[in-house]
A and B are shown apart, each in its own frame.
Chain A
């Protein structure tokens, strides 16, 4: 490497705008070997190298080096089509930081041409407090009225959106119980999240209970906001940084040992706060400190065992969220969570590490391609025949759930901690756990 990652290279070329110039050393790590091609869902769907990591890196490099203009429509289209799933990072022997390069490139492109209106609207809502709360409240009302289930039958993007909403309803009834943990494993504050608390509050409560049951002391962290992942992935780095600073301050105030995140996209974002704020002298060190304390909920549970619950004779098939398996490189932890439920029969989808097409707001912006990416996943689930699909990210739960619903496949999505929680609830309500 001739330039360090944190300083723009001396040869920053004419026409280069800062964020992408900053990513040039990362771009140069690519040796064009092509091992990423088969790991890329959009390449597999479209068969065009422009829609592959290697192709996109070349396009981004051409922009960074001034060979192509920043507002080149082809560059824009092919970068817009990227899911940001980071499957290529797992396949890359050179360690190209693809996700970070993509975010820089999108930020650079956005300086010339803003993202589509629908994306700006969603990002604006998620960046604010009250409009977001009102939107999620309205969504819950809609979901509760069963209108969502009706509208989910509409064709196209609208119908799919309502199917996603309907799919966010709990697949299994939660039965609260008094937790018996000793709190000896350290203090934990959970990221409540926006969609998680708005539509998956049942998963948040299950996460808190299972952590307590495994001897963590869970405390609240008031003042937290949206994690900023949607903003960062869309190239709105300014918006992402503002949200990150608010969260860093909130979790510092909470003074906990760990920050537990049960949405893998949010967890990855928080683990990358250090990178996001690396050029901000007042916040860089604080961001890194918070990032280092961030854990996926399954990491904390797996580190504690987790404690076994009461048996549940059920079949579940596991699908790995991309930002867990490729972003956070966590393979075994969610499976350890499922393994703590006695009698639960767990299989893994053959291509569990392939994206489902959810990818934040991607399924809103690229509905057709998102469906093409989802289709093989649905086939695999139907083939497996399990009634439950476990995956630890709200976007994936809704995307896969909506696809199952519309494809008339009799399976529902759950978060792994929901199953562990149900197992603990059974135990608390009198079903004995096997001796460990």
Chain B
């Protein structure tokens, strides 16, 4: 089957408005939220019903055609890009919340349901969906499952895998299987755990059953400002060491603060601070103020200039808006932006941040740090002009050095953005060849032909059977 024939067959399934094949219209799908990678796909299909998704994937299975599932395209690891012959399968039209069960605190959603729409719908029952990536106003639950997304509140409440109880999966061969169960643990191996975070390489989630959490009865949101990053990092370690577990503990450095304050999401962060900590405590009203006073004292001891508590919901929302829109706000700093995602042991925050600062100076680039300090998940943002090839090169060198520094400090290469294409080259930094090969073999259980989101997550050359069996590879090769 040629690509044109495939397009005709896909139109027969999803209708003429569900297939894009002209280069201009495919342009918006050549990148996700990370602007450094551009891979214009040659075809994109947008099913609007579960049945259409199944028919599309079965067509791909018959034709041995590769595909890349995509939600809202807000990812930050270039994971939803389709190179070569791979077809984009956009799931953003399947946005329904299929059921919401406030008694059992469960909801079943289609993969394209937007994260925040679930929290909005659950709000009527005093419930919410806990994982809150900063892109929650746009990103989809299906994408969250693929990336095992985190968010500021994951420090206390855990990441996506802790809130997904069951997924109906459409395997790349077209078979529909149920993983997990809505009511308690399922016996046998935790295949659901393997699927969450598989970055679209194990199949497509047709529906996702998630756990809803009750809104905390009381919340205190505090902002502490510091004249140095070190002081902010010291306060972070002190708070965690004290035994208090904040719902969120976020840090922003001076350049980030100034970008946010210049945006329409200006949150009232002190513009002359070199670091602010956004600390949220939640739980029962009783004892919360005592914890807040303790946190305030720990911040002051670490060198905070001021610590203030949001007086009402409006001020709290404003403080959070500044944090959640920080990534976008940096668009003011430079025409393009890359964001790195690494995790380091919390105690190493001060020296790793200093190393990042030194790397930035050496490569003459500007780094803005905005990150989940509480769990040591760093997000150095680097603004640059992609039309300046020298600057682009320097940014790439610096990114590599930053990543290496994080790994050297005992950290790892992603906290929540996933590997995608962007971190593929770092995988050998943290995994042995045997470990990588084991991951290849796990993937082969779900997707033996490597047609679902090909060339992502595990470098292909790391798969022993792949490199050792050219005949198998030839058999799986897709017709041009």
Residues of B within 8 A of A49 (CB): 28-29, 73
Q: Does A292 sit at the interface, judged by CB under 8 A?
A: no
Q: Does B400 sit at the interface, judged by CB under 8 A?
A: no
**Across the interface, do B31 and A32 meet the contact criterion of CB distance under 8 Å?**
yes
**Across the interface, do A31 and B27 meet the contact criterion of CB distance under 8 Å?**
no
Cα distance A50–B21 in the bound complex, in angstroms:
12
Q: Does A33 sit at the interface, judged by CB under 8 A?
A: yes
Q: Assuming A94-B263, A95-B332, is B73 touching A34 (CB within 8 A)?
A: yes
Residues of B within 8 A of A58 (CB): 27-28
Cα distance A49–B92 in the bound complex, in angstroms:
10
Which of these, A29, A32, A35, A62, contacts B137 with CB under 8 Å? A35
Q: Does B179 sit at the interface, judged by CB under 8 A?
A: no
Residues of A within 8 A of B31 (CB): 32
Q: Does A18 sit at the interface, judged by CB under 8 A?
A: no
Q: Does A367 sit at the interface, judged by CB under 8 A?
A: no
Q: Does B22 sit at the interface, judged by CB under 8 A?
A: yes
Q: Does B337 sit at the interface, judged by CB under 8 A?
A: yes
Cα distance A11–B386 in the bound complex, in angstroms:
13
Q: Does A264 sit at the interface, judged by CB under 8 A?
A: no
Cα distance A37–B114 in the bound complex, in angstroms:
10
Residues of A within 8 A of B264 (CB): 90, 92-93, 95
| B35 closest partner in A (C-beta) | A32
* Min CB–CB distance A436 → chain B (angstroms): 26
Q: Which of chain B's residues 20-53 have a Cβ closer than 8 Å to chain A?
A: 20, 22, 24-25, 27-29, 31-35, 46, 48
Q: Does A47 sit at the interface, judged by CB under 8 A?
A: yes
Residues of A within 8 A of B22 (CB): 74
**Across the interface, do A34 and B28 meet the contact criterion of CB distance under 8 Å?**
no
Cα distance A54–B25 in the bound complex, in angstroms:
12
Q: Does B57 sit at the interface, judged by CB under 8 A?
A: no
Q: Assuming A11-B387, A31-B35, A93-B265, is B114 touching A38 (CB within 8 A)?
A: yes
Q: Does A48 sit at the interface, judged by CB under 8 A?
A: yes
* Min CB–CB distance B392 → chain A (angstroms): 13
Q: Does B413 sit at the interface, judged by CB under 8 A?
A: no
Interface size class of A (residues with CB under 8 A): 35 or more
Q: Does A72 sit at the interface, judged by CB under 8 A?
A: yes
Residues of A within 8 A of B385 (CB): 2
| A94 closest partner in B (C-beta) | B331
Q: Does B330 sit at the interface, judged by CB under 8 A?
A: yes
Residues of B within 8 A of A47 (CB): 46, 48, 90, 92-93
Which of these, A34, A36, A94, contacts B332 with CB under 8 Å? A94
Which of these, B28, B34, B330, contacts A50 with CB under 8 Å? B28
Q: Assuming A2-B335, A11-B387, A94-B328, is B28 touching A33 (CB within 8 A)?
A: no
Residues of A within 8 A of B325 (CB): 35, 93
Q: Which of chain B's residues 196-224 have a Cβ closer than 8 Å to chain A?
A: none
Q: Which of chain B's residues 294-333 have a Cβ closer than 8 Å to chain A?
A: 325-332
Q: Does A355 sit at the interface, judged by CB under 8 A?
A: no
**Across the interface, do A31 and B328 meet the contact criterion of CB distance under 8 Å?**
yes
**Across the interface, do A48 and B46 meet the contact criterion of CB distance under 8 Å?**
yes
Q: Which of chain B's residues 83-138 have a Cβ closer than 8 Å to chain A?
A: 90, 92-93, 114, 116, 135, 137-138
Q: Assuming A59-B27, A93-B329, A93-B331, is B48 touching A35 (CB within 8 A)?
A: no
Residues of B within 8 A of A1 (CB): 334-335
The total of chain B residues at the interface (CB under 8 A) is: 44
Q: Which of chain A's residues 1-41 have a Cβ closer than 8 Å to chain B?
A: 1-2, 11, 28-38
Residues of A within 8 A of B46 (CB): 47-48
Name which of B17, B20, B135, B264 has the most chain A CB atoms within 10 A of its CB. B264
* Min CB–CB distance A20 → chain B (angstroms): 15
* Min CB–CB distance A72 → chain B (angstroms): 5
| B333 closest partner in A (C-beta) | A1
Q: Assuming A93-B329, A94-B328, A94-B331, is B24 touching A35 (CB within 8 A)?
A: no
**Across the interface, do B72 and A31 meet the contact criterion of CB distance under 8 Å?**
no
Residues of A within 8 A of B48 (CB): 47
Which of these, B17, B24, B90, B337, contacts A31 with CB under 8 Å? B337
**Across the interface, do B138 and A48 meet the contact criterion of CB distance under 8 Å?**
no
Residues of B within 8 A of A92 (CB): 264, 328
Cα distance A117–B9 in the bound complex, in angstroms:
37
Which of these, B24, B34, B265, B387, contacts A75 with CB under 8 Å? B24
Q: Does B74 sit at the interface, judged by CB under 8 A?
A: yes
Q: Fill in one digit per residue for A125-166: 1 if any B CB lies within 8 Å of its CB, else 0.
A: 000000000000000000000000000000000000000000
Q: Does A342 sit at the interface, judged by CB under 8 A?
A: no
* Min CB–CB distance B149 → chain A (angstroms): 14
Q: Does A382 sit at the interface, judged by CB under 8 A?
A: no
Q: Does A246 sit at the interface, judged by CB under 8 A?
A: no
Residues of A within 8 A of B182 (CB): none
Q: Does A96 sit at the interface, judged by CB under 8 A?
A: yes
Residues of A within 8 A of B331 (CB): 29-31, 33, 93-96
Cα distance A432–B454 in the bound complex, in angstroms:
75
Known pairs A29-B332, A35-B137; list 9 more (Cβ under 8 Å): A1-B334, A32-B32, A33-B328, A34-B139, A35-B328, A38-B114, A48-B17, A93-B328, A94-B329
Some 16 contacts from A to B, beta carbons below 8 A apart, are: A31-B35, A31-B336, A32-B32, A32-B34, A33-B138, A34-B72, A37-B138, A38-B116, A48-B20, A50-B20, A58-B27, A68-B27, A93-B328, A93-B329, A94-B329, A95-B331
